Homo-oligomer: A and B are copies of this chain.
Amino acid sequence: MIKTRFIEEIIKDNKEGNEQVHGWIIGKRKSKNYIFLDIKDSTGVIQVVLNKKKNVHEDIDYIKNLKLNSAVSVTGLYNNSRNQPEIIASFYKIEKEATLNLQPNPSNPLLNPFNENFIKHLTKHPTFYISNRKLATVLKIKSRFRHNLASWFWSNKYVQMEPPEFTNQTLYDDNGAFWINLNGQKISLSRCATFHLEPGIIAYEKVFCITETHANEMSRSKRHLAEFTHLKAELAWANLEDLMSIAGKMLYETVRQTVSDCQKEIEILGLGKIIEDKINRLNPKNYKIISYDDAIELIKKKGKSFDYGKSLSNKDEEILTLAHNNSLLWIKFIPCTAEGFPFKRKNDAPHLTMVSDLIAPGGFGEILGIAEKITDYDELLSRMKEKRKDTPEQLERYKDYLDLRKCGLPEHGGIGMGIERVVRFLLDLKHVRYTRPFPVIHKTKINF
Give residues in A with beta carbon < 8 Å to B: 1-3, 22, 24-25, 41-42, 69-71, 95-100, 102, 125-128, 130-133, 136, 139-140, 142-144, 146-147, 150-151, 154, 159-169, 178-183, 185, 187, 189, 195-196, 199-200, 202-206, 211-212, 214, 216, 226-227, 229, 235-238, 242, 245-246, 375, 377, 399-401, 403-404, 406-411, 436-440, 442-443, 445-448
Whether B154 pairs with A147 at a CB distance below 8 angstroms is yes
Whether A202 pairs with B24 at a CB distance below 8 angstroms is yes
A71 interface neighbour in B41, B42, B227, B409, Cβ under 8 Å: B409
Whether A447 pairs with B168 at a CB distance below 8 angstroms is yes
Residues of B within 8 A of A163 (CB): 437-438
Residues of B within 8 A of A403 (CB): 100, 127-128
Whether A401 pairs with B127 at a CB distance below 8 angstroms is yes
Given contacts A180-B179, A181-B178, contact A226 B128 (CB under 8 A): no
Given contacts A164-B440, A180-B178, A400-B448, contact A212 B211 (CB under 8 A): yes
C-alpha gap A216/B401 in the complex (Å): 27
| Interface SS majority for chain A | mixed
Residues of B within 8 A of A160 (CB): 143-144, 146-147
Query: Min CB distance, A93 to chain B, in Å?
Result: 10
Whether A131 pairs with B203 at a CB distance below 8 angstroms is yes
Given contacts A42-B203, A406-B99, contact A237 B167 (CB under 8 A): no
Most buried by B among A25, A203, A400: A203
C-alpha gap A448/B41 in the complex (Å): 46
A406 interface neighbour in B100, B168, B447, Cβ under 8 Å: B100
Number of this chain's copies in the complex: 2
Query: Min CB distance, A220 to chain B, in Å?
Result: 11
Residues of B within 8 A of A167 (CB): 438, 446, 448
Residues of B within 8 A of A399 (CB): 447
Query: Min CB distance, A78 to chain B, in Å?
Result: 19
19 contacts between A and B (CB under 8 A): A22-B410, A42-B159, A69-B408, A71-B410, A97-B408, A131-B202, A132-B203, A144-B160, A147-B151, A162-B436, A164-B436, A164-B440, A166-B227, A166-B446, A167-B438, A179-B180, A180-B189, A182-B440, A200-B437
Given contacts A2-B246, A102-B407, A235-B2, contact A127 B199 (CB under 8 A): yes
Residues of B within 8 A of A69 (CB): 202, 407-408
Query: Min CB distance, A290 to chain B, in Å?
Result: 23
Residues of B within 8 A of A236 (CB): 3, 22
Whether B182 pairs with A446 at a CB distance below 8 angstroms is yes
Whether B226 pairs with A182 at a CB distance below 8 angstroms is yes
Residues of B within 8 A of A70 (CB): 408
Residues of B within 8 A of A238 (CB): 2-3
Given contacts A180-B178, A203-B131, contact A406 B98 (CB under 8 A): yes
Whether A128 pairs with B400 at a CB distance below 8 angstroms is yes
Residues of B within 8 A of A185 (CB): 445-446
Given A132-B203, A200-B437, 11 additional A-B pairs, CB 8 A: A24-B202, A130-B203, A131-B200, A143-B162, A165-B227, A166-B226, A167-B438, A180-B214, A182-B216, A182-B446, A199-B437
Residues of B within 8 A of A443 (CB): 183
Residues of B within 8 A of A159 (CB): 42, 139-140, 143
Residues of B within 8 A of A131 (CB): 199-200, 202-203
Whether A408 pairs with B205 at a CB distance below 8 angstroms is no
A229 interface neighbour in B42, B132, B161, B162, Cβ under 8 Å: B162
Whether A164 pairs with B97 at a CB distance below 8 angstroms is no
Closest B residue, CB atoms, query A205: B42
C-alpha gap A399/B110 in the complex (Å): 27
Residues of B within 8 A of A133 (CB): 203
Query: Min CB distance, A127 to chain B, in Å?
Result: 4
Query: Min CB distance, A94 to chain B, in Å?
Result: 10
